[in-house]
A and B are shown apart, each in its own frame.
Chain A
Amino acid sequence: MNPSSLVREFMEKGRSESCRVIDMHGHLGPYQGIYFPNPSPEDMIRTMDRCGVRMIVSSSHAALIDTRENFKMADVVKRHPDRFRAYWVINPNYPLRIEEEIAQFPKIDGFIGFKFLSDYHRYPITGPRYEPALKYAEGHGLPILMHTWGHSPYDSPALVDELAKRYPRVVFLMGHSGYGEWERSIQVARDHPNVYLELTAAYAINGVIEKMVLGAGSRKILFGTDLPWFDPHYGIGCVLFSRITDDDRHNILHRNAESILKPFMSHG
């Protein structure tokens, strides 16, 4: 059996006091192609308590479709300020709304940055419609969580590479770690101080976490689950049983996220 004290603690108790997990890739509410037993904020908090997850940063599923739904996440953060922060979804298919949304952004508490879902919105992260959000994030040093997928024409690691050079103050979180194009994703995270690999779904690939730690270092990896999609214990189990050190596990499961979230923890 794995000798790690963190593994033992999670196996026995399901959580760890010394490793209170932060989930940097969450959602909220029902969605099109999947049945969720636990979609509400209160359901999610119950899951987070069970799994030792201290905080989650979410974009609502509804806002992925219609960005006017973004405002509802502000209410969720207001009701649960110790458990939720939010991403503001940018939909490049409605470019006239983006300037107005960015003007509203600083006036609403609870949002830490933006969410791009380019594969689903079918618009490349390097396209001009994203520029207002990217320039705002650059000016304020904000995080952007991007859905990224290997060889995608919309959000591949190569396109993240381009953006990271153009916007060095933006903190780019590569959602799903450029799934499938691992070598290139690791290289982009290694080459740019402002790029992180985010593990949602990617953690399930056997051996990929070790490969990321070896190639980019555990300080460049963030934990996420797509909750209410995936049981956090599944992803945490993948991190725990990977052949890495407990120090690496702490970096991935909470320390790196704590550093990114620090400027936003007085909100709410």
Chain B
Amino acid sequence: MKFFDCNASFGTPMVPPIRYADTAKELLKEMDHYGIAEALVYHVRQCDDSPVVGNSILFDEIEGIDRLHGTLAILPTQTGELGTIESIIDLMREKNIRALRAFPAEHKYSMSRTALGDLYDLMTERKIPLIINIGESSGVSGWHLVERMLSDVPDLTLIVTEQGCWGQDRLFRPLIERHANLYLDISRYELDGGISDFVGKYGADRLLFGTAFPEWNPGGPVLMLTHAEIANREREMIASGNLEGILGRVRL
């Protein structure tokens, strides 16, 4: 089975976790240890530093590495730091970037349509997915933020990561039922029977394999998904097929 990780990062963090990958090549070695074929990645400087700096570092690091797929960290275009909508899409074409990431807590902006309207229009018109960690907040936090975003931009393809292990089904299942373009990574969906129960009710196309490396141990989601009580076809969708489908629908 092919594992395609939707949520991994590398680089030297400001506050290092116990284990991390300093470079893209080190990340590949880590992926080999767990049998992970490909990953949609960001560089920690895209979060810990200005995205202007971090995005550039990421592009240099993953240049020529087919197994790693980059994401662009966004900022509101009003400050002009990332250029114009036109220059952003040109850059994405040049670097084959098919997903965006938002770090609104670290980079101090709002996820509202007022702040990000032109970027949201770009994402929905070109089916570009946006990835956000559930721990992010920009005044409205967690699942309330996700609900606000999807109410503002119903056609947005949104991937929510690291939902946390302390039982969040009561929070995210109503949103899954209402918003067909909402996807969850399974990096911390540790609930016993959670994956099979979720897939039985909503199908397998809303879950994505993710590890949240380097913070979390990828061995957990790897073994959990390998033996989840679902059909092999569903397992393969979660392991890689769904993410490949999302990235394949992007029109650059």
Contacts and interface: CB of A to CB of B under 8 A. Distances in A.
B53 interface: no
A206 B217 contact: yes
Contacts of B188: 204
Contacts, number: 127
Interface string A25-68: 00000000111111000010001001100000000000000000
Contacts of B195: 231
A1 B218 CA distance: 13
A209 B17 CA distance: 13
A1 B228 CA distance: 20
A36 B167 CA distance: 8
Nearest to B169: A35
Contacts of B63: none
Interface in B195-245: 195-197, 213-224, 226-229
Nearest to B167: A34
Interface string A63-79: 00000000000000000
Q: Which of B170, B192, B223 has the most chain A CB atoms inside 10 A of its CB?
A: B192
A211 B19 CA distance: 10
Contacts of A234: 190, 220-221, 223-224
B17 A206 contact: yes
B216 A204 contact: yes
A11 B224 CA distance: 10
B14 interface: no
Contacts of B35: 1-2
B223 A233 contact: yes
Given A38-B192, A50-B229, A1 B33 contact: yes
A211 B213 CA distance: 17
Nearest to B213: A206
Nearest to B197: A37
Contacts of A210: 18-19
Given A50-B229, A233-B223, A241 B33 contact: yes
Contacts of A233: 220, 223-224, 226-227
B44 to A, nearest CB: 14
Given A231-B193, A237-B219, A237-B221, 18 more contacts: A1-B32, A2-B35, A11-B226, A14-B226, A35-B167, A35-B191, A36-B191, A201-B165, A204-B165, A205-B215, A206-B19, A206-B214, A231-B192, A233-B224, A233-B226, A237-B220, A237-B222, A241-B33
5 contacts: A203-B220, A207-B18, A225-B192, A230-B190, A238-B220
Interface of A: 1-2, 10-11, 14, 33-38, 43, 47, 50-51, 182, 201, 203-211, 225, 227-242
